[in-house]
Structure 1
Amino acid sequence: MNLLITGVTIADPNSQFNQQNCDVRVEQGTITAIGNLKALESETVFDGSGSVLSPGFFDLNCSIGDPGFETKEDISTATNAAKAGGFTGLAVLPNTKPVIHSKAEVEYIVNRAKYNLVDVLPIGAISHDLEGKEMAELFDMQQAGAIAFSDGGKAIADDGFMSRALQYVKGFNGLLMVYPENKSIAGKSQVNESKTSVLLGMKGLPALAEEMQISRDIFLAAYHNAPVHISNISTAGAVALIKKAKKDGVKVSCDVAAHHLVFTEELLNDFDSNYKVKPPLRAKSDVKALIAGLKEGTIDAVGSQHRPHEIEFKDVEFEIASYGITALQTVLPLLIRAGLDAGLIAEKLAVNPRKLLGLAIPVIEEGALANFTVYHPAEEWLYNKASNFSKSANSPLLNKKLTGKVKLVYNNKQLQKF
C-alpha cells in the first residue's frame, strides 16, 4: 500500500526534517518523499494535522508470557497492544516457562514473531532458570538472535556470578540488563519505605536496596571496563549514582518505567493492587529527580515494564497480589502527562532503546525504510475493555480518559490505523 501523510510534524533528532511540518510519502515500505506534496491517485491519504510523526517506538522491557504463560499474554495479543501504543519493536524478557535460557527458546520466539508489523526480539536469561547460580547459554543465544541478557525482575545476588557474567559477555559484545535490588536489604517489603508505609502498616522497601545494588554493578562494570544496563530505576539516589558513574567514564546506561514518572506512593492509600509494581511507587521527590534525569541525559530510555496478569493475580488483597501493570498502550499518555515534549519522547522511546541494543535506528528521511508512529499529543481517548488490546486488564488507568492517541504505525511494509 502506498501512503501519503499530510501536515504532520516530524519529531526525529536524526532527521534533517526534525520539528518541521511536512507531508510524508511511503511507497512499498520506503519513504520516497518529504515536503509539500500532492496526493497521487494510487495512494491512501491520511490527514496528520496536529499529529506528530516519530520513528517507531521500541520497548526495552516487556513481558509477554509466551511460552508457558499464554493466559497472561501471547505474542499476538502483545503485538496488538504494542501497535496501539505506538511500538514497532519489543524486547521481550525471558521470564517464561520454559525460561528463555538456551538457543531453542530464542529460536522459538524468533520464529513465532516472523512477518509481524512489530519486531519481537528475545532477551536471553543471564542464569539458568533465572536462579542466579549457573550461567545460561549466553553466546549460543546471541548467535540464535538474543539481543541482550537479563534475569527480568530478579536481581543477580551473587557478586562473583555477576562479575563472571560481565567478563564473559564482554568477549562477544553482549549486554547485561540487570534489575536493581539488594534482596537481603529489601526482604519481603512491597511498598516504599516512608511515612506512607507507616500509615499503611506495611514494611517499607528502602531506596537503599536499589542504590546498593546499582553501586555494586557500577563497581563491577568499572573493574571489567564492560557495559551494564540498569533496568527500571526508581529513586533520586539511583539517578545521582548513575550520573556520577557516567561522568567517571563507566559504561553504564539505564531506563525508567513510564509509570514511575507519574505515579507516586500516595496512590496506594486505598490499597489498589493495580498500583502494586516493582520497584514500588516512590515519593514525589523521586519522580521529580527521574524526570530531571531524563531531560539531562542521565536516564537513557523509557520502558513500558509491561507485566500482564490474569484477574485472579491482581483482584486480591494487596499483600498477595502480583506485581505489575499491563502498560504497552499507556506509555505515551503517561509521558505526555509527565511533561515530555515530542523530541524527548522520540529520543527516549524510539532512538535510544535501539542504540543501547545495537539495533538499526529508523530515521525519517527520503530513501529510508519506513518505520514510524503517528500520534496526536492532545487527543483524548477512553482506555476501556473495548480499546484494550492486551489479554490482561491489570491497569489502574483502565476506564479513564487519557491524553495522547496513537493514530497509525508503519513497519515491515505493514500499516495499522487506529
Structure 2
Amino acid sequence: MNLLITGVTIADPNSQFNQQKCDVRIEHGKITAVESKLGTLTATKGETIFDGSGSVLSPGFFDLNCAIGDPGIETKEDIYTATAAAAAGGFTGLAVLPHTKPVVQSKGEIAYIINKAKGNLVDVLPVGAVSQDLEGKELAEMYDMKLAGAVAFSDGTKAISDDGFMSRALQYAKGLNGLLMVYPENKSIAGKSQINESKNSVLLGMKGLPALAEEMHISRDIFLATYHDAPVHISNISTAGSVALIKKAKKDGVKITCDVAAHQLVFTEELLNDFDSNYKVKPPLRGKTDIKALISGLKDGTIDAVSSQHRPHEIEFKDVEFEIAAYGIIALQTVLPLLLKAGLDAGQIAEKLSVNPRTLLGLAVPVIEKDAEANFTLYNATEEWLYNSENNFSKSANSPLLNKKLTGKVKLVYNNKQLQSYG
C-alpha cells in the first residue's frame, strides 16, 4: 500500500528531520519522500492520504520484555494475539521470553517461534533460556540458539541465584557475543513476599519484598560483569537504590544496561490497599521516592529502555485472593499512555521505546529518512480513548486499566510492508 502522511511531527533522534513537522510518503514498503515544507507533497493515483496533524511519527516501538504462552500455554497468549496487542500499542517488534512449555532452550524452539511469526507486521524475536529448564544449574544450548536466531538470553522471571553459575553464564555469553538479560532478586531475602516492604505492607499485614533483595542481586551482577569484562542487562528495575547502583557502575565503565517496566513509572504501592490482584506485579509496586528516581534515571540516561513487562494470565490465576494470585499484567497496549502520564516527551519515548531497545540487542534501528525501510508508529499524545474488552487484543484481561479512559492513542503502525490503522 502506498501512503502519504501529512502534517506529522517527527520524533527520531537519528533523523535529520527530528522535531520537524513534515509530510512523509511511503511506497512499496519504503519511505520515498520526507518534506519539511508542509503541503508540497501531493497525492498520487492510488495513494492513501492520512492527516497526521497533531500526531507524532516515531520509529516503531520495540519491547525488550514480553511474555507469551506460545509454545505450550496458548490459553494465556499466542503469537497472533500477542502481535495484535503489540501493534495496537505501537510496537513493531517484540523480544519474547523463554518461560513457556516447553522452555525455549534449544534451536528447535527458536525455529518454531521464528517460523510461526513469519509474515507478521510485528517482528517476533525469541530470547533463549540461560539455563536448562530455567533451573539455574546447567547452561542451555546458547550457541545453537544464537545460530538459530536468538537475540539474547534470559531465564525470564526467574532470578539466577547461584553465583558460580551466573559467573559461568557471563563468560560463555561473552564468547558468543551474546547478551544476558537477568531478573534481579535475591531469593533468600525475598522469600514468599507479596508486596513492597514498607509501612504499607505492615498496614496490610502482608510480607514485604525489601528493595535490598533487588539491590543486592544487582550489586552481585555488577561485580561479576566487572570481573569478566562482560555485558549484562538488568530487566525491570524498580528501586531508587537500583538506579544509584547502575548509575555508579556505568560511570565506572561497567558494561551494564537496564530497563524499567512502564507501570513502575506511574503506579504506587498505595493502589494495593483494596487488594486488587491486577496490581500484583513483580517486582512489586514501590513508593513515590522510587518512581521519582526511576523517571530521573530515564531522563539522565541511567535507564536505557522502557519495557512492557507483558504478563498475560487466564482469569483463574487473577480472580482469586491476593496472596495466591499470579504476578503480572497485560501491558502492550498501555505502555504509551503510561509513559505520557509519567511526563516523558516524544523524543524520550522514541529513544527509550524505539532506538535503545534495538541497539541493546544489536538490531537494525528504523529511521525516518528518505530511502529507508518504513517501520514506524504514528500516535496522538493528547487523544483520549477507552480501553475495554472490545479493543483489548490480548487473549487475557488482567489489566487494572481496562474500562478506563487513557490519554495517548496509536493511530497507525507500519512494518514489513504492512499497515494497520486504529482510527
Alignment TM-score, normalising by the size of structure 2: 0.99
1:71 corresponds to: 75
Counterpart residue type for residue 77 of structure 2? E
2:24 corresponds to: 24
Pair 1:371-2:382 in alignment: no
* Secondary structure, aligned partner of 1:67: coil
Q: Deviations for 1:113-168, whole angstroms, at most 9, x for unmatched residues?
A: 00000000000000000000110000100000000000001000000000000001
Counterpart residue type for residue 6 of structure 1? T
Pair 1:273-2:277 in alignment: yes
Pair 1:294-2:298 in alignment: yes
Counterpart residue type for residue 57 of structure 1? F
Counterpart residue type for residue 14 of structure 2? N
2:6 corresponds to: 6
Trace 1:142-291 onto structure 2 (pairs within 5 A).
142-291=146-295
**CA shift for structure 1 position 221:** 0.2
* Secondary structure, aligned partner of 1:407: strand
CA distance in 1, matches of 2:44, 2:194: 58
CA distance in 1, matches of 2:44, 2:205: 65
1:37 corresponds to: 41
1:356 corresponds to: 360
2:119 corresponds to: 115
Structure 2 spans left out of the alignment, 5+ residues? none
Counterpart residue type for residue 112 of structure 2? Y
1:83 corresponds to: 87
Q: Deviations for 1:345-399, whole angstroms, at most 9, x for unmatched residues?
A: 0000000000000000000000000000000000000000001000000000000
CA distance in 1, matches of 2:207, 2:413: 44
CA distance in 2, matches of 1:217, 1:190: 24
Aligned residues: 418
**CA shift for structure 1 position 39:** 1.4
**CA shift for structure 1 position 172:** 1.5
CA distance in 1, matches of 2:333, 2:176: 35
Counterpart residue type for residue 402 of structure 2? L
CA distance in 2, matches of 1:152, 1:168: 18
Counterpart residue type for residue 66 of structure 2? C
CA distance in 1, matches of 2:143, 2:52: 44
CA distance in 1, matches of 2:274, 2:59: 39
CA distance in 1, matches of 2:45, 2:172: 57
Pick from 108, 114, 119 the counterpart of residue 104 of structure 1. Answer: 108
Counterpart residue type for residue 18 of structure 1? N
* Secondary structure, aligned partner of 1:254: strand
Trace 1:318-329 onto structure 2 (pairs within 5 A).
318-329=322-333
2:314 corresponds to: 310
Counterpart residue type for residue 31 of structure 2? I
Trace 1:334-345 onto structure 2 (pairs within 5 A).
334-345=338-349
1:416 corresponds to: 420
* Secondary structure, aligned partner of 1:23: strand
CA distance in 2, matches of 1:217, 1:390: 34
* Secondary structure, aligned partner of 2:419: strand
Q: Give the % identical residues.
A: 82
Pick from 135, 138, 141 the counterpart of residue 139 of structure 2. Answer: 135
Structure 1 spans left out of the alignment, 5+ residues? none
CA distance in 2, matches of 1:337, 1:304: 15
**CA shift for structure 1 position 42:** 2.1
**CA shift for structure 1 position 38:** 1.3
* Secondary structure, aligned partner of 1:171: helix
CA distance in 1, matches of 2:240, 2:297: 9
CA distance in 1, matches of 2:93, 2:274: 35
Counterpart residue type for residue 379 of structure 1? E
Q: Deviations for 1:246-271, whole angstroms, at most 9, x for unmatched residues?
A: 00000000000000000000000000
Counterpart residue type for residue 4 of structure 2? L
**CA shift for structure 1 position 41:** 2.1
**CA shift for structure 1 position 279:** 0.0
CA distance in 1, matches of 2:100, 2:419: 30
Counterpart residue type for residue 114 of structure 1? K
CA distance in 1, matches of 2:88, 2:145: 30
CA distance in 2, matches of 1:389, 1:205: 32
Trace 1:398-409 onto structure 2 (pairs within 5 A).
398-409=402-413
**CA shift for structure 1 position 318:** 0.3
CA distance in 1, matches of 2:194, 2:251: 33
* Secondary structure, aligned partner of 1:215: helix
CA distance in 1, matches of 2:339, 2:221: 28
CA distance in 2, matches of 1:374, 1:140: 37
The Cα RMSD (Å) is 0.4
Alignment TM-score, normalising by the size of structure 1: 1.00
CA distance in 2, matches of 1:133, 1:32: 52
Trace 1:51-62 onto structure 2 (pairs within 5 A).
51-62=55-66
Q: Deviations for 1:33-76, whole angstroms, at most 9, x for unmatched residues?
A: 01131111220000101000000000000001101110000000
